Amino acid sequence: MIVIRGGTVVSATGAAPADVVIDGERISALLAPGSLLATDAAGRADRIIEADGMYVLPGGVDVHVHLQLEMTPDATSADDFTTGTTAAAWGGTTTVIDFAGQQVGMAVGDAIEARHGEADGRCVVDYGFHLAMGDVHPQSLLDLGAAIDDGISSCKLFMAYPGVWYSDDGQILDAMFRAKDLGAMVMMHAENGIAIDVLRRRAGEAAALDPASLAPAMHGRTRPAVLEAEAVNRAVALAEVAEAPLYIVHLSSAEALEAVASARHDGRNVFAETCPQYLHLSFEEHLDQHGIDGLRHICSPPLRSQQGHDDLWRGLRTDQLSVVSTDHCPFCDNEKLLGATDFRDTPNGLGSIEHRMDLLHQGVVADEISLARWVDVCSTTPARLFGMYPRKGVIQPGADADIVLYDPAAQHVLSAETHHMAIDHSAWEGMAITGQVRTVLSRGSVVIDDRTFVGRAGHGQFVRRGLSELLV
Ligand code: URP
Ligand code: ZN
Ligand code: ZN
């Protein structure tokens, strides 16, 4: 038995001082301050963790990560399931959801089995999978049923990446009808990939006269917000026709947010996540830079203008945006440099799995979101939306003892010198942070102990998820 004493327990609805009693892998009680000695927990505790001055949070739930993702034969995302979940733990995230990718010609079951083979026994914290469906046809849609039975209750489709992951509107509609019948969540990468490919081709054609047309900034210019908004609007319309639930991943722009906000205003089962990079990093500061800094910040959708940050923070405050996940997909410099002379050859993605709780806490410090909303978008709502609640995302008796002790006053600076992700640079280099994770428990086991790593690969278990509990 472990007791966490003297901290302030923060939930999605507020904060209050309380002691937390952990029995085995689960939380067994929340006690009013000072009442511990009157219970038998004080005598039975193997360990009392003092949490004076700390927030005691439900472990973070990051529902969008890409560990060990082979993007091309020359580029695989840098973190494997051990380094990625170790870094997640350092940052206060105790559950991640990655993707089992079904590529063209592959059976859904084989894709899932292969991903299990890569993750099994290697994770430090708990993990799950979505299905990423790149080959929508009658058999793969049939197989979606078996995936749900196996705890994979959500499926990502792509309006981008023609010829690779792309689905056309007919395939998307078919998949949505099936998802609606099964109660599965459809996740959408909403960018108009067909139009984007025209802009990319034209950038290539322009290079003979103007080499700058292949610089990193052109990654942003060939993926304009209007083509994200168009895709979100289309996805929302298709979901309306099929009456299917829809979750827009990595939403990056105010234009796209408008479409989500309007659907939510109408009471639809439409949700969206944004990512820390779209709240903190900008096109001007990073993507519009020649050389390695620009390449390091290539991700899709691209970083947008600084002016749009306020809209996304407002979206988080007002529940237009439901979740913040990382879309963690980092590549080392040697792989980012594949695009040194042509941005189109740069593997897309950046790394934040370790920093999500800190980066969102800056929103609390800056009064953009409340303390409760921080916990809500980083832990509680992702757990509820993706069928893990109340096992995950909450500190209450019966829940998994995934708990973070967070020091709100600590000051530190993000850097590749100190992070635990397996990338040789940081998209966040030099950013000053207020607040820091001190201690992390995953299912009752301490994995970060007062900023010392004491976890082990293999502790993390696959989470068989149920259906979303937030659908109306
Ligand atoms: O640039 C990104 N987002 N890389 C990861 C793949 C994806 O589309 O989520
Ligand atoms: Zn995507
Ligand atoms: Zn992604």
Percentage of the chain modeled with pLDDT above 70: 100
Q: Ligand 1 — pocket residues by CB below 6 A? A: 66, 189, 250, 299-300, 327, 329, 348-349
Which pLDDT score, from 0 to 100, does residue 234 have?
98
CA 34 / ligand 1 centre spacing (Å): 48
Domain assignment present for 417:
no
The first and second tokens of residue 254, run together, are: 């105010």
Question: Which ligand is located closest to the Cα atom of residue 302?
Answer: 1
pLDDT in tens, 342-391: 999 999 999 999 999 999 999 999 999 999 999 999 999 999 999 999 99
**At 458, phi and psi to the nearest 5?**
105, -20
Q: Residue with the nearest Cα to atom 3 of ligand 1?
A: 300
Domain assignment present for 391:
no
Domain assignment present for 379:
yes
Domain assignment present for 392:
no
Relative to the CA of 298, which ligand 1 atom is closest?
Answer: 1
CB 437 within 8 A of CB 405: yes
Q: Residue with the nearest Cα to atom 4 of ligand 1?
A: 349
The first and second tokens of residue 44, run together, are: 């039975």
The first and second tokens of residue 295, run together, are: 């390449």
pLDDT(449) > 90: yes
CA 291 / ligand 1 centre spacing (Å): 21
Domain assignment present for 247:
yes
To test the pocket of ligand 1, the residue of 65, 66, 247, 286 to mutate (highest count of ligand atoms within 8 Å of its CB) is 66
The first and second tokens of residue 408, run together, are: 């709100």
CA 64 / ligand 2 centre spacing (Å): 9
State the residue for tokens 């917000």: 225
Looking at every residue in the chain, the average pLDDT score rounds to 97
Closest to 88 (Cα-Cα) out of 411, 390, 328:
328
Residue 201, classed as helix, strand or coil, is helix
Q: Name residue 26's amino acid.
A: R
pLDDT in tens, 263-291: 999 999 999 999 999 999 999 999 998 88
pLDDT in tens, 17-71: 999 999 999 999 999 998 988 888 778 899 999 999 999 999 999 999 999 999 9
Q: Residue with the nearest Cα to atom 2 of ligand 1?
A: 349
Contacts of 138 (CB under 8 A, 6+ apart): none
The first and second tokens of residue 163, run together, are: 């010829």
CB 262 within 8 A of CB 233: no
Residue 188, classed as helix, strand or coil, is strand
Domain assignment present for 366:
yes
The total of structural domains in the chain comes to 1
Q: How confident is the model at residue 321 (pLDDT cuts 50, 70, 90)?
A: very high
Which pLDDT score, from 0 to 100, does residue 197 have?
98
CA 250 / ligand 2 centre spacing (Å): 7
**C-beta neighbour count of 334 within 10 angstroms:** 10
Mean pLDDT of 405-420: 98
The first and second tokens of residue 126, run together, are: 């708990």
Which pLDDT score, from 0 to 100, does residue 291 have?
85
CA 445 / ligand 1 centre spacing (Å): 32
pLDDT in tens, 115-163: 999 999 999 999 999 999 999 999 999 999 999 999 999 999 999 999 9
Task: List alpha helices for 21-150, DSSP H.
Answer: 41-44, 81-90, 108-119, 138-149
SS3 string, 213-253, reads HHCCHHHHHCCCHHHHHHHHHHHHHHHHHHCCCEEECCCCC
State the residue for tokens 């293999």: 458
Residue 393, classed as helix, strand or coil, is coil
Q: How confident is the model at residue 472 (pLDDT cuts 50, 70, 90)?
A: confident
To test the pocket of ligand 1, the residue of 164, 188, 228, 299 to mutate (highest count of ligand atoms within 8 Å of its CB) is 299
Taking the mean position of all CA atoms in its chain, how far away is CA 31? Answer: 32
Which residues line ion ligand 2, judged by CB < 5 Å? 189
CA 101 / ligand 2 centre spacing (Å): 12
Domain assignment present for 151:
yes
Relative to the CA of 158, which ligand 1 atom is closest?
Answer: 8
Relative to the CA of 64, which ligand 1 atom is closest?
Answer: 9
Strand order in the sheet with 270-274: 60-62, 93-102, 126-133, 154-158, 185-189, 246-248, 270-274, 323-324
CA 344 / ligand 1 centre spacing (Å): 14
Q: How confident is the model at residue 243 (pLDDT cuts 50, 70, 90)?
A: very high
CATH number at residue 76: 3.20.20.140
Contacts of 373 (CB under 8 A, 6+ apart): 12, 316, 317
Question: Which ligand is located closest to the Cα atom of residue 330?
Answer: 1
Segments forming the whole domain that contains residue 330: 60-385
CA 343 / ligand 3 centre spacing (Å): 19
Domain assignment present for 154:
yes
Give the whole-angstrom CA distance, residue 402 versus residue 388.
13
